[in-house]
Chains A and B, each alone.
Chain A
Amino acid sequence: MKTFKIGGVHPHENKLTAGYHITTAPLPQQAIILLSQHIGAPAQCVVEKGAHVKVGTLLAQANGFVSANIHSPVSGVVSKIDSVVDGSGYAKPAIYINVEGDEWEDSIDRSNTLVKECNLDAKAIIDKIAQMGIVGIGGATFPTQVKLMPPPNMKPEVLIINAVECEPYLTNDHALMLEKADEIMVGVEILMKAIHVTKAYIGIEINKPDAIDLLKEKSLEHQGIEIVPLQCKYPQGGEKQLIDAIINRQVASGALPVSTGAVVQNVATAYAVYEAVQKNKPLIERVVTVTGKSLQNPGNFLSRIGASLSLLIEAAGGLPEDTGKIVLGGPMMGRATANIEAPTGKGTSGILILTDDEAHRPDASPCIRCAKCVAACPMGLEPYLLSKVVAMGNYDVAESHHIYDCIECGCCSFSCPANRPLLDYIRHGKGKVMAIMRARNANDKK
């Protein structure tokens, strides 16, 4: 069974909503659309207050190379262009739309007919993807078209589709694969065409046997697409770990993943690409897993982007009495938020409601150098050492021990028997060290 070579852990999967159908979440009364739902520059607003918009109307335009278009997920009137406190707790620029009805742009094909043929060439496909505002919706929200245009000296050899879903609790990709297998396959073919490769691997962990079987069956009708079952191990969905697991190549420290010849896209992104290219549909809705042990009605919800967290939580039965923490994303890498009125974005893959018992960290005790963090680190770092030197402010030692390679997967803190907040220290130190390195590079250039 294939998997990545260094480190990793296997947390309790807790996939409470595995096998649940995708249900459509109710339309919000007000949608709040953040101008920055992707990595890169925030998009530039192109509508004015009072403007009438339909579903799919362009609201904001990509502002630079690494940026993405944003379309209206609802129909109605732009009520204000202001800022909103998002999940991070900071105020961010956003467009408020009062929802009226559900009127879509005529250009969007809303039928369920499968469109297999794609006659566009690579450039036209990439333009279409950029135009429709597609970003990596596995969580990183990197604009998809940028990843499809690697630097000229790096030539993609294979496409890897990330259908690993190694985060505990999340099942949105799993549900999508079971219900939209044909569309995903076409999306993968379009992506292959866009980067001129003839081979694609879809990596799926073996805790989703039904998805593996279904996609294997579908792959018989498509040339060059191979399903790769993977051992269940976190963080296999990390781009570097997935490339290592599937084609046995390791991205060098500091290099672009495409330097290995692999371009990685999330399976839900492949579906979004299908809808964008074949159906003219911008990225205006996505599947969000709303889950937690105390939730009455957890599920995989197809939700318009810009709906508030509370709307989705209500759809899942309302916030339980014993709620202690709300996490955007999965429990290993997700961000906790205290603001349930925050809007969802393109990257919101899940809303996890942890009970009060699960929400608190146990007290930390001294490091006993058991080296479980060293064994768990998928990047081959020494978390106990890094956290110690960062605590002392020895950033030069942290740099010489490659703190910048940390992918913040959380395996170290997860496995520490002394409950030490290893990743907290490392994240802080990584930020400091990267700033020092940038300043030094800037100095050297002078």
Chain B
Amino acid sequence: MNKLVVSPSPHVHSGLSTAQCMYGVLIALIPAFIVSLYFFGLGALLVTATSVLSCVIFEYLIQKYLLKGQPTIANGSAILTGVLLAFNLPSNLPLWIVVIGALFAIGIGKMAFGGLGSNIFNPALAGRIFLLISFPQQMTTWPRPSNLPMGLDAETGATTLNVLKYGNVEDIISIDVMEMLVGNAGGSFGEVSAIALLIGFAYMLWRRIITWHIPVSIIATVFLFSFFISIEKGLEFALIFAELQVFSGGLLLGAIFMATDYVTSPTTRGGMLLYGVMIGIITIVIRLWGAYPEGMSFAIFIMNGVTPLINNYMKPKRFGEVVKHG
């Protein structure tokens, strides 16, 4: 006979664990990874492998030797940070820069704040922005996608976002939206295939890892905002322009995988919607009027910082708050 356990209720648990949430997101990223391997070849693989390995090793070393605690790399959060960081990088980025990005993401973005659950900013995003500011040239030289085994040698060229920002009406209309849906476009290698990212979104909704609120509010805001500011150039143009804004750059990757990071996003439904709308607006403002062609990272980063404030003011609807008699 075992000793009887006496503990307060509840005595059953849903069975969901932190690790399951993290690995669920990783599974949702598989389609995008496969597409990036197809278009960017070995470069995508090398950058991802380097990023994941460095993130896991840095987290292990910091937890074990600096914090002198029990390493928790098995929960998958360092792997996820590694994958998300890699997906936001060009596939031809020198690998030593990737390692620096990983060190910043884990060391400063996450562990300096107290580790998993205590960080204010999305670690992968912190790493990417650090690299973008430190290595502007390498970070914005995008290889054109090519189906070569050695994608490292691919030629470089202007991305859709550059065309959207600086191009004229004809250039913009001539962009093939279908190619962008599939992923045959320039950019960080994890963000190029809209369809692969949307499959991941559907998977996460089905597994209830995330709710629809943040991604949908970001995408809807970006679409409507860019539609209305370009409507003066004609309805047809405005539709294409808005569509391109949604499918280009890191918008879908950011909206589905980066902005929905549990730790750094609001906890209530209303807060999530507000957060999403603000990210959408800031993204378009930076894309069109800012110094950078892409504003998604900065928009999420800024709103990460505002999240505690949103959590403070946007409260869930309480039971019995509005007394209905009907």
**Most B Cβ at <10 Å: residue of A89, A378, A385:** A385
Nearest chain A CB to B285 CB, angstrom units? 27
CB-CB nearest in chain A for B267:
A371
Q: How large is the interface on A (under 10, 10 to 19, 20 to 34, 35 or more residues)?
A: 35 or more
How close is B311's CB to chain A, nearest CB, in angstroms? 8
State whether A384 and B14 are in contact (beta carbons under 8 Å apart), knowing that A324-B2, A379-B318, A405-B319 are contacts in the complex: no
Assess whether A423 is in contact with B13, with CB atoms less than 8 Å apart.
no
Q: For chain A residues 12-40, which have a beta carbon within 8 Å of chain B?
A: 12
Q: Does B228 contact A (CB under 8 A)?
A: no
A326 CB → nearest B CB, Å: 6
The reply on B16 being an interface residue by CB < 8 A is: yes
Q: Interface majority SS on B: helix, strand, loop or mixed?
A: loop
Contacts of B21 in A (CB 8 A): 368, 370, 417
Which of A337, A361, A417: most chain B CB closer than 10 A? A417
Evaluate whether A252 and B13 lie within 8 angstroms (CB atoms) in the complex, with A323-B1, A359-B5 already known.
no
Q: Are A249 and B324 in contact (CB under 8 A)?
A: yes
Query: In the complex, which residues of chain A have a beta carbon less than 8 angstroms from the beta carbon of B269?
Result: 375
Verify if B168 is at the interface (C-beta below 8 Å from A): no
- Chain A proximity of B123: nearest CB distance (Å): 13
A74 within 8 A of B: no
Contact A253 B13 (CB under 8 A): no
Contact string, A327-366, partner B, CB cutoff 8 A, digits 1/0?
1000111111110000000000000101010111110011
A380 within 8 A of B: yes
Q: Quick one: which of A89, A260, A366, A427 has the most chain B CB within 10 A?
A: A366
- Chain A residues, Cβ within 8 Å of B137: none
The answer to whether residues A408 and B5 also contact, given A244-B319, A369-B263, A414-B14 and a CB cut-off of 8 A, is: no
Cβ distance B113 to chain A, nearest Cβ, rounded Å: 11
Give CA–CA (A180, B7) in the complex, Å. 35
Cβ contacts under 8 Å, B315 to chain A:
382
Say if the beta carbon of A402 comes within 8 Å of chain B.
yes
Judging by beta carbons under 8 Å apart, are B13 and A337 in contact? no
Tell me, yes or no, whether A415 is within 8 Å of chain B by CB.
Answer: yes
Rounded to whole angstroms, the CA-CA distance of A336 and B3 in the bound complex is 13
What is the CA–CA distance of A12 and B319 in the complex, to the nearest angstrom?
A: 25
With a CB–CB cut-off of 8 A, which chain A residues contact B326?
248-249
Closest to A370 in B: B262
Asked if A45 is at the interface (CB within 8 A of a chain B CB), the reply is no
A296 interfacial contact with B, CB 8 Å: no
Distance between B72 CB and nearest chain A CB, rounded to angstroms: 7
Note all chain A residues with C-beta closer than 8 A to B118: 366
Classify chain B: how many residues form its interface, as a range: 35 or more
Tell whether, in the assembled complex, residue A253 and residue B320 are in contact, meaning their CB atoms are under 8 Å apart: yes
Considering only residues 297-312 of chain B, those with a C-beta below 8 Å from chain A are 311
Question: Do B9 and A410 have beta carbons less than 8 Å apart?
Answer: yes
In the complex, A396 has a CB within 8 A of chain B:
no
**A380 contacts B18, C-beta separation under 8 Å:** no
* A321 touches B (CB below 8 Å): yes
Q: Does A419 contact B (CB under 8 A)?
A: yes
Quick one: which of A108-160 are within 8 Å of B by CB? Answer: none
In the bound complex, do residue A361 and residue B13 qualify as a contact, i.e. CB atoms below 8 Å apart? yes
Q: Bound complex: CA of A12 vs CA of B318, how far in Å?
A: 26
Q: How far is the CB of A373 from chain B (nearest CB, A)?
A: 9
- Indicate if B316 sits at the interface (CB-CB under 8 A): yes
B254-294: CB near A (< 8 Å → 1, else 0) gives 00000000110111110000000000000000000000000
| Chain B residues positioned under 8 Å from A372 (CB to CB) | 16
Given A336-B7, A418-B18, CB of A371 within 8 Å of CB of B320: no
Interface check B317, CB cutoff 8 A: yes
Q: Once the chains are docked, how many angstroms separate the CA of A333 from the CA of B11?
A: 8
CB contact under 8 A between A331 and B6, given known A6-B317, A365-B18, A366-B117 = no
A-B contacts, 8 of them at CB < 8 A, read A240-B319, A252-B320, A359-B4, A368-B263, A370-B262, A374-B267, A374-B268, A381-B316
Residues of A participating in the B interface, judged by any CB pair closer than 8 Å: 6, 9, 11-12, 89, 168, 240, 244, 248-253, 255, 260, 319, 321-327, 331-338, 352, 354, 356, 358-362, 365-372, 374-375, 377-382, 384-385, 402, 405, 408, 410, 413-419, 421, 423-424, 427
Top-6 shortest CB links A-B: A410-B10, A366-B117, A371-B267, A380-B318, A370-B262, A359-B5
